[in-house]
Amino acid sequence: MDDRMLRRRVYGADHDDPDPGARPGRLYGELVGGPLDGLLLDITGWGPRRLAEEARLPTEIGRYGAGGRAHYRRRAADPDHWDWVGDSR
Domain ranges of the chain: 3-88
Q: What are phi and psi of 48, to 5 degrees?
A: -55, -40
- pLDDT score, position 15: 81
pLDDT 10s digits, 29-78: 999 999 999 999 999 999 999 999 999 999 999 999 999 999 999 999 99
CA distance 78 to 64: 29
